[in-house]
Amino acid sequence: MEWNYQGDRGPENWNTICSAFHQAESESLQSPIALDDDQITATISQQSLIFDYNKTLFESSFFNHTVHLSPKTNEKLNTVIFDHKRYFLEDLHFHLPSEHEINHESFPLEFHLVHRSVKNELLVVGVTVLPSERPMNTVFAAVDERALHPRVAGRGLTVPIELTRLLPENKQFYHYTGSLTTPPTLGPVEWIVFSQQTFMRQGLLQAFKKTVGKTNRPLQLIMNRPIYLSNN
């Protein structure tokens, strides 16, 4: 079913578009939410999250109103272990501006690393992004503006990405259970959102704004669910 980020088929009306969307929204706790250091339920061990990311070739595509990058060959090459459970990276995509708010702050962009376990459980890592002109601190060095035009390029472009460089240096994270942020907004999804930002070249960020534009779902109610912050 067709949906959008504004108008009749915007986020406030997603649950009226079809029964599947309605069901997803009513049957699970929703994302994104506001993450606030004053609202933390408990701390969680920094060691409960382990990344095993490697340099990987990704292929770009365009759906759900944004750019997606998916591993071109071995999808089991990049894994995250969270709370002793292993999840495999299957997709990376972008939202503008950020979907999560961190201590009342919104950011120009947020990207999601979508992982799935062998039992079909979802874990999404959210990374908020700030612009930077300092070359040493920028990421997506290998991703140029052409990758944002997969429709023009036909089957999409192949881009090598060193995933570890996309993550902030400081790995302190929030954890909560929510949902996907695009319809059907199914849950449960285990969310990991870094408290620190990572950096993107200003020119690339501008290209995202021009090509992708507004693609963030508004904040959802927390509904008393626990929110954890790692003990950094």
Beta-carbon-side half-sphere exposure of residue 68 (alpha carbons within 13 Å): 13
CB of 153 to Zn ion, least distance (A): 22
Per-residue HEC secondary structure of 5-42 comes to: CCHHHCHHHHHHHCHHHHHHHHHCCCCCCEECHHHCCE
Q: What's the distance, CA 203 to chain centroid?
A: 21
How far is the first Cα of the chain from the last one, in angstroms, to the nearest whole number?
42
Considering the complex, state which of residue 112 and residue 201 has its C-beta at the smaller distance from Zn ion. 112
Count of C-beta atoms within a 10 Å radius of residue 83: 11
CB of 47 to Zn ion, least distance (A): 26
Considering the complex, state which of residue 46 and residue 64 has its C-beta at the smaller distance from Zn ion. 64
CB of 99 to Zn ion, least distance (A): 7
Stretch in the footprint of Zn ion (CB under 5 A) among 23-31, 112-120, 155-163, 168-176:
112-120
Strand partners, 61: 68
Q: Which element (helix H / strand E) includes 163?
A: none
158-187: contacts with Zn ion (CB under 5 A) = none
CB of 231 to Zn ion, least distance (A): 27
Residue 100 is a binding residue for Zn ion (CB under 5 A): no
Q: Which residue has the tokens 């309605």?
A: 22
Considering the complex, state which of residue 100 and residue 112 has its C-beta at the smaller distance from Zn ion. 112
What's the rounded Cα separation, in Å, for the pair 93 and 114?
8
Give the count of residues interacting with Zn ion (CB under 5 A). 1
Considering the complex, state which of residue 114 and residue 229 has its C-beta at the smaller distance from Zn ion. 114
Among 5, 14, 30, 112, binds Zn ion (CB under 5 A): 112
Considering the complex, state which of residue 64 and residue 158 has its C-beta at the smaller distance from Zn ion. 64
Stretch in the footprint of Zn ion (CB under 5 A) among 24-32, 70-78, 107-115, 189-197:
107-115
> DSSP characters for 78-133?
SEEEETTEEEEEEEEEEESS-SSEETTB--SEEEEEEEE-TT--EEEEEEEEEEE-
Name the residue number minimizing CB distance to Zn ion: 112
CB of 42 to Zn ion, least distance (A): 26
Stretch in the footprint of Zn ion (CB under 5 A) among 18-26, 31-39, 106-114, 220-228:
106-114
- Give the binding site for Zn ion (CB under 5 A): 112
